[in-house]
Amino acid sequence: MARHLSTVFIHIIIAIVHLVLPILAARAMDNPLSGGLGSEKDIQLLNCALYIEHMESALYTEGLSRFSVKNFTDAGLEPWTYGRFQEILEHEKSHVRFLQNTVSEAGGRPIGPCTYNFRCTCSSFNDDPLSFVELASELETIGTAAYHGVSTMLTNEQSISASGVVFEIEARHSGWIDASVRKVSAWSGAFGVPLNCGQVLTLLTPYIESCPSRDSELSPLPKPYPPLTISNTRPNELASLSFTPPDNFNTNTSTPESFSVTFLTSNSGVLSVPIDVQDDSEKPVQVRIPENIRGDAFVVITNNAKDISDESILAGPALLRVQPDANFRDNMER
């Protein structure tokens, strides 16, 4: 009798398994990230995107609460641009909610917003709408490069889709601000420049006052590189680059000629200029900006002129802006 019951019980379990497995499989096909199936790498990359969206949302919230339509028109901006920025703010809020849900469905913990200081000495943002527009343009440029990089590193199909649908709108925001509001070219060349998460955090860290400590413990992001600042952004002129070498920096680990300033550009690819770097020296490095750079570029200092991997970056990136007006046409692209 007991053996018979055991046999019946086993058959019942098998029947249940056969019924449930197709349902679970179908759900997994509908949402590959559900049930914690997202990789830790993908979750970190999506949180990096969320980090950017929190900051952009905060900037637009602060700027639009500080300035009115009249402030915009007094600064020479068209009155309708204020409404467009309001639309962008709503987009950024939607992106935050979307990425929070995506990270949660992937089995991760969405990071929260930080406390920001957009009027720090590193920022162009002060008490006029034009400076707000300038900083918005910078953040959208960084955000577009970030989504470009994130999209190339994600492994899960659902993650790639989630990044891609936001990537497109970030690029539209960036192009609209530059062409319609700043009256400069909406693009820098025929190709985009991708950034990894560490590079993005390096560019955004100066605007951060503090972030939730719980996020760094439960949803860690890569550490930023040492910051890099550039004093001049005119092509074919000398610029001063300031940075603090990392603690483990030693020029003896590389040949002197291997140190370089590397420009990641949209119109001319990767350009490297050799520099002389001394141990424990915070003296600015002098470098001539390549004459063929146009638009936005990202600049890093590396200890290997042929390598821009994480291991080779000593400082940066910094955002270099060499933007002609909207009527300019680069001879290289004719």
Phi, psi of 273 (to 5 degrees): -120, 120
Tell me, yes or no, whether 111 and 210 share the same domain: yes
Residue 300 falls inside a structural domain: yes
Compute the chain's Rg from CA coordinates: 24
Contact predicate 290/267, CB 8 Å: no
Tell me, yes or no, whether 149 and 265 share the same domain: no
Phi, psi of 26 (to 5 degrees): -65, -40
Residue 150 CA to residue 319 CA, distance in Å, equals 18
Tell me, yes or no, whether 149 and 282 share the same domain: no
Residue 34 falls inside a structural domain: no
Residue 46 falls inside a structural domain: yes
SS3 category, 211: coil
Residue 28 falls inside a structural domain: no
Domain stops at, among 170, 186, 218: 218
Tell me, yes or no, whether 214 and 254 share the same domain: no
Indicate yes or no: pTM above 0.85.
no
Question: Domain containing 240 — which CATH number?
Answer: 2.60.40
Tell me, yes or no, whether 148 and 297 share the same domain: no
Q: Which amino acid is at 283?
A: K
Domain stops at, among 199, 218, 237: 218
What is the residue-level pLDDT of the chain in tens, covering all 334 positions? Answer: 544 444 434 343 334 334 333 433 343 334 444 444 468 999 999 999 999 999 999 999 999 999 999 999 999 999 999 999 999 999 999 999 999 999 999 999 999 999 999 986 666 677 899 999 999 999 999 999 999 999 999 999 999 999 999 999 999 999 999 999 999 999 999 999 999 999 999 999 999 999 988 777 777 899 999 999 998 778 888 999 998 876 656 555 555 557 899 999 999 999 999 887 765 556 788 899 999 898 999 999 998 777 778 888 999 999 999 866 555 555 444 3
Residue 296 CA to residue 312 CA, distance in Å, equals 22
Residue 198 CA to residue 201 CA, distance in Å, equals 5
Beta bridge mates, 295: 322
Tell me, yes or no, whether 210 and 296 share the same domain: no
Question: Domain containing 186 — which CATH number?
Answer: 1.20.1260.10
Residue 286 CA to residue 304 CA, distance in Å, equals 18
Residue 14 falls inside a structural domain: no
Q: Which amino acid is at 183?
A: K
Domain stops at, among 169, 195, 218: 218
Nearest to 289 by CA among 306, 305, 272: 272
Domain range enclosing 124: 40-218
